Structure formats: C-alpha cells, structure tokens
Amino acid sequence: MLVETYKIKSWDEELMGVVIKENDDWILIQEIEGDYQVDGYTLLKKEFVKKRRSKKWEKQVALVLELNKHKPALTGFRFGKVESMLKWIEKRHDIFAFQDKVEESIEIGKVEDIKENVLGLHFLKANGKYESEYIYDYKLNQIRKISFDTHYLRSLKLLNAHHEKV
C-alpha cells in the first residue's frame, strides 16, 4: 500500500491519500482527512501536483491502514477525459466536489452541461438544496481536485433526499 502527501500548486495545505492508481494525467487516491481516517475518493490532476512524497509518516499511516485491513479499491473506474470521469462519478455517486486554483472554494453539485471546455454546474448548497436560480460555469482545465463518495457528500445527498420528500 502506498500513501503519499501532495503539495498542489497555489494551495497552502498539503493533502494525503492512499494511491489506488494513476495515469499520465491523474492520480486516484482515497484521501486521508485525519491521521488514519480514509474518506472517499479523490482525483488529482498531475499538472497541478507540485510535489509528492512518501516518507516516514506516510509509511506509518500505510502500516496502520494495513493493520486495520484497509483495502484501497474502486471497482469499474477508468481514467478518461474530465467529462467522462464526471459522468461515471455521477452515475454511481450522484454528486461530486471539485476545487480549482482557489483552495478555500469547494464546488459541489451535478453537471448541467459541458460546452467548449466549460463545466456548467448545478450547485448543491450546504443545506442540501440545489441553487435554482443560476448555473455556475467553471473552466475544466483549471480543476485541480475532484472528490466523490466522501462522508460530507453522502450527508448532503441525504439532506437533499429529505428536502425532496418534504
């Protein structure tokens, strides 16, 4: 099991994860939010990964996860263009989150459309309700991180389902 820490261009905070697989453009990890807590899946765009390392601390984290019999895997996932990966994520997990150069800004929702490398996002707010007045546009080539199936995203899906029933 390989655990790595990543420094992303223009971000202050590093992030850590268990490497599941990678290709020339992306790294798929299970992100480690706390010392030994794995939460969901994350795709990191390699062109924005400034530095990656696996030293003493990362090896200790890997050992703890192995002792806990953690098996990193994601069945059926294939790398491709951002559009096809987002469609796959939506089909299986309904929503996703992503970040661009602004580290503090996490955008959550569903694809409304993708035209000329611009993602139209149907934005899901923190209260579990979709923004009904506006579709937000983001440049695909600026996306540094895509997350899905995290505890927070699953919680927003539950809130949204509750609001839909009421």
- Give the CATH number, domain containing residue 96: 2.30.30.100
Give the pLDDT confidence score for residue 17 in this predicted structure.
96
Q: Do residue 84 and residue 156 come from a single domain?
A: yes
pLDDT for 134 beyond 80: no
pLDDT at 131: 85
Does residue 26 share a domain with residue 100? no
Instruction: Give the angle subtended at the CA of 34 by the CAs of 30 and 39, to the nearest 5°.
Output: 30
3-state secondary structure of 164: helix
User: 105 with 154, same domain?
Assistant: yes
- Is it the case that residue 15 has pLDDT exceeding 90? yes
Question: Does residue 147 register a pLDDT over 90?
Answer: yes
Note the maximum CA span of the chain.
50
Flag whether pLDDT at 86 surpasses 90.
yes
Q: What percent of the chain has pLDDT over 70?
A: 100
Mean pLDDT of 61-73: 93
The domain in which residue 137 lies consists of 80-166
The SS3 call for residue 7 is: strand
Query: CB-side exposure of 134: number of CA atoms within 13 Å?
Result: 3
Asked if pLDDT for residue 166 goes beyond 80, the answer is: no
Domain count, the chain: 2
Give the pLDDT score at 72.
87
Would you state the pLDDT for residue 137?
Answer: 87
Confidence (pLDDT) at 51? 97
Dihedral of the alpha carbons of 94, 138, 131, 42, in degrees to the nearest 10: 30
Q: Residue range 104-127: average pLDDT?
A: 90
Please, what is the Cα angle at 19 between 22 and 88, to 5 degrees?
A: 60
CATH number at residue 21: 2.30.30
Arithmetic mean of pLDDT, 34-41? 89
Mean pLDDT of 38-65: 96
Q: What is the pLDDT of residue 79?
A: 96
Displacement of CA 128 from its chain's centroid (Å):
18
Same domain flag for 136 and 114? yes
